[in-house]
Copies of this chain bind each other. A is one copy, B any other.
Amino acid sequence: MAMRMSSLFLRTLREDPADAELPGHRLLVRAGYVRRAAPGIYTWLPLGLKVLRRVEAIVREEMDAIGAQELTFPALLPREPYEATGRWTEYGDNIFRLQDRKKSDYLLGPTHEEMFTLAVKDMYSSYKDLPLSIYQIQNKYRDEARPRAGLLRGREFIMKDSYSFDVSDEGLQASYDAHREAYVRIFDRLGFEYVIVAAMSGAMGGSASEEFLAVSAIGEDTFVRNDAGTYAANVEAVVVPQAAPVDASGVPAAHVEDTPDTPTIETLVASLNANHARSDGREWTAADTLKNVLVVLVHPDGTREPLAIGVPGDREVDAKRLEAQVSPAEVEAFEAKDFAANPSLAKGYIGPGVLGETRESKIRYLLDPSIAEGSAWVTGADEEGKHVLDLVHGRDFAADGTIQAAEVREGDPSPDGNGVLHTARGIEMGHIFQLGRKFAEALDLKVLDENGKLVTVTMGSYGVGVSRAVAAIAEGNLDEVGLCWPRNVAPADVHVVATGKNRERDGSVFDKADELTAAFEAAGLEVIYDDREKVSPGVKFKDSELIGIPTIVVVGKSLENGVVEIKDRRSGERREVAVDVAVDEVLAEVRQGRGAKA
C-alpha cells in the first residue's frame, strides 16, 4: 500500500534539530526517518524502518548466498560465558551490565562470539560437521563514553554478525575469503564508496583482519593508502617497518650539554641552534631529537602501569594507534602524582638514561621503529636544564622493544615500499577477522578430526553495521535541500506529488495522481503519495526533496496538456512526459537504477 502523506506518521522539520551534529543525521531527523530517544539510542520511524529493512535484506541475501545460516541469540546474556573468555572484565565500562531480581549478573551483548561458540559446542562434535557459518541480524549494545554522530555510533544499534567454524587454517582462510567476497557484494549494492583496509583486531584477539570503510570526511577512522593501490590500512593497523641500521662509526661520544629552559622540543631546537652548532653546518630540527612520552596504562584489573614511548621529536604519539596497541588496557595521562611517584624522572628532560625495565625508573620503554640502530639523537639527560647530544641507539642506549604508536602522516613511505601514503577518513562499515582459536580455547570447543583426535576449532568473525550503514548512506547521499537515497535502499521507488489545493477544486489532479499511484503499485513499485489537501505545492516539493526518493512524479497544472513531470532527485533533472507513458518511463528508470551501483 502506498504511503500516503495525508496519514503517514511523519512530520518534516524545517529547522535543524539541536541534538544532531552531522549533515546526514540532521536530514534523517528533519525528514522523519529517526528520532533520538536517549543519548545514542534511536527510534526508527516508518520511513527509517523501510530503509533499515532494505539494508537488512541485502545483507541477508548475500549471507545466505554463501551458505551462512541465520539464527538469533538473545540480547540479554548471562555473565558466565563472558567471564570464561575474560571479556566481562576487558570490556570495562563499555558494556551495559545489570542484575536480575535474583542478583544474577547479565550484560547486553556487544558482540556474540561466546554464544556462537557455545552453540556450536552444544550441537557439533565432528570435523564432518564443519565448515559452518552462522549469523544473526540483531540489536547490540555498547555503553559508549561519548555517544555522538547520531546513528554512526549508537549505544543500541543493529549489526549483522557472523562466525565461521573450521578445523584447519586453510578452512578458516576459505571461510574468510567467502565472507570478504560477500561483503564486497553487500557494499557494492548499498551504494557508497568504500575501501578495504588492513585492520587491527583489537580486543577481539586473532590475526588477519580487514575493515570495509565508507570513504567520508566525517568518518571517525583515519586510513592510509598508496597511489598504486597496493597498500591500504586503517591508521591503527599501519606497521611502520623497522628502520635499517645505520653506521654510527663517525659519531662522537655522547656528551651532556647545558640547555637551560628547554622543556619542549621547540625551545630545545632553538637553544641547540643558538648554542650548539652542528659540525655539518645544518640547522637542528625537531627530527634530530628523541622525544620520550610518558603515559599510564590502566589494565582491565585496575592496575596502573607507566609506559615510556620514544618517538622522533617531529612526531606525536597517535592516541588511537597507541590505544589499539595496548588494548584492552586503557591509556591515561601521566600526571603530577605519577611524576611524584617516579623521582628519577626530570620532567621536560627525560631520557633513555633512566627509562627501561632494568634502569632506575623501572618504566617500560618502547621505541618507534623509525629509530634506527646506529642513529644519533639529542634527548633528555635526566637532569633539569640538560640534554645529551650524539646519543646513539644501540651504542649508548637501548629500549625494551618497539611500539607502533607514532602518528602516520601524509607522504610517509608506504610500508610495502611502493610510493608514499595518503591519508583520508572513513566510517567503519564492516570488519572481518580471523579470530583463530582464542574463543574456542577459552570455551573448550573441540571436534574429533579424521583420526579421531580432539582438535580445537578455528573461528572467523564478521560484522556489518546495519543501522550504521543507513547513517553512512545518508551522509554520503545528500545535498543542501535533503537526502538522495540510492535506489537499492530508498524507502520507496517513486514519490508522487499531487499539487492540487484540495479535491473539491482540483479533482482531476488528485484523480490522476490516485490513478498513477495505483498503477505504480500494480507494477510492483513502492510509492510515497503526497495526497495532502490544503498544503501548498512549495511545501510538497520541499518535503519531496528532503525525503529524497530517487524519482519524483509531479501531477499538476500541466495535466491540462496531458503531461506530468518526472524529476530525478539526485541530478535535479526534470522532464515532462505524456501521462499515459509515465508508468513505463518510471519503471524503466527503476529497473536501470536497481541494477547499477549508485
> Which residues on A are within 8 Å of B, measured CB to CB?
1, 7-11, 32, 35, 37-38, 41-46, 48-49, 52, 64, 67, 69-78, 93, 96-98, 100-101, 106, 108, 115, 119, 122-124, 132, 134, 139, 141, 143, 145, 155-156
Q: Contact check: which of B32, B78, B108, B155 meets A38 at CB < 8 Å?
A: B78
Report 12 cross-chain contacts, Cβ distance below 8 Å, ordered by A residue. Answer: A9-B123, A11-B123, A38-B77, A41-B77, A43-B72, A44-B71, A44-B72, A45-B119, A48-B71, A75-B75, A75-B156, A93-B101
Q: Contact check: which of B8, B42, B122 meets A35 at CB < 8 Å?
A: B122
> Closest approach, in angstroms, between the C-beta of A235 and any C-beta of chain B?
26
- Nearest residue (CB) in B for A98 is B98
A74 B37 Cβ-Cβ under 8 A: yes
A132 B9 Cβ-Cβ under 8 A: yes
List of B residues within 8 angstroms of A52 by Cβ: 72
Q: Contact check: which of B98, B143, B155 meets A96 at CB < 8 Å?
A: B98
With known contacts A64-B1, A98-B97, A124–B73 Cβ distance under 8 A: no
A41 B74 Cβ-Cβ under 8 A: yes
In the bound complex, how far is the Cα of B37 from the Cα of A37, in angstroms? 29
List of B residues within 8 angstroms of A145 by Cβ: 101
> Closest approach, in angstroms, between the C-beta of A131 and any C-beta of chain B?
9
> Closest approach, in angstroms, between the C-beta of A445 and any C-beta of chain B?
14
- Nearest residue (CB) in B for A64 is B1
In the bound complex, how far is the Cα of B265 from the Cα of A167, in angstroms? 71
- Nearest residue (CB) in B for A112 is B43
A41 B97 Cβ-Cβ under 8 A: no
B43 A9 Cβ-Cβ under 8 A: no
A43 B75 Cβ-Cβ under 8 A: no
A43 B115 Cβ-Cβ under 8 A: yes
In the bound complex, how far is the Cα of B74 from the Cα of A43, in angstroms? 6
With known contacts A35-B119, A38-B106, A7–B67 Cβ distance under 8 A: yes
B49 A76 Cβ-Cβ under 8 A: no
A45 B74 Cβ-Cβ under 8 A: no
B96 A71 Cβ-Cβ under 8 A: no
List of B residues within 8 angstroms of A43 by Cβ: 71-74, 115, 119
Q: Contact check: which of B11, B41, B49, B64 meets A70 at CB < 8 Å?
A: B49
B98 A70 Cβ-Cβ under 8 A: no
In the bound complex, how far is the Cα of B119 from the Cα of A45, in angstroms? 9
A143 B71 Cβ-Cβ under 8 A: no
Known: A38-B77, A74-B156. 6 other contacts (CB 8 A): A43-B74, A44-B71, A46-B69, A49-B71, A75-B139, A76-B96
B134 A73 Cβ-Cβ under 8 A: no
List of B residues within 8 angstroms of A42 by Cβ: 74
In the bound complex, how far is the Cα of B100 from the Cα of A97, in angstroms? 8
List of B residues within 8 angstroms of A106 by Cβ: 38, 96
List of B residues within 8 angstroms of A78 by Cβ: 37-38, 41
In the bound complex, how far is the Cα of B69 from the Cα of A46, in angstroms? 7
> Closest approach, in angstroms, between the C-beta of A47 and any C-beta of chain B?
9
In the bound complex, how far is the Cα of B72 from the Cα of A49, in angstroms? 7
In the bound complex, how far is the Cα of B119 from the Cα of A37, in angstroms? 9
In the bound complex, how far is the Cα of B100 from the Cα of A138, in angstroms? 21
> Closest approach, in angstroms, between the C-beta of A41 and any C-beta of chain B?
5
A45 B71 Cβ-Cβ under 8 A: yes
In the bound complex, how far is the Cα of B48 from the Cα of A77, in angstroms? 19
- Nearest residue (CB) in B for A81 is B37
In the bound complex, how far is the Cα of B107 from the Cα of A96, in angstroms? 11
In the bound complex, how far is the Cα of B42 from the Cα of A77, in angstroms? 10
B155 A37 Cβ-Cβ under 8 A: no
B124 A11 Cβ-Cβ under 8 A: yes
- Nearest residue (CB) in B for A132 is B9
Shortest Cβ-Cβ A-B pairs, 4 listed = A98-B98, A38-B78, A44-B72, A11-B123
In the bound complex, how far is the Cα of B156 from the Cα of A78, in angstroms? 12
Q: Contact check: which of B11, B48, B76 meets A141 at CB < 8 Å?
A: B76
List of B residues within 8 angstroms of A74 by Cβ: 37-38, 41-43, 156
List of B residues within 8 angstroms of A76 by Cβ: 38, 41, 96, 108, 141, 155-156
In the bound complex, how far is the Cα of B46 from the Cα of A342, in angstroms? 58
In the bound complex, how far is the Cα of B143 from the Cα of A106, in angstroms? 12
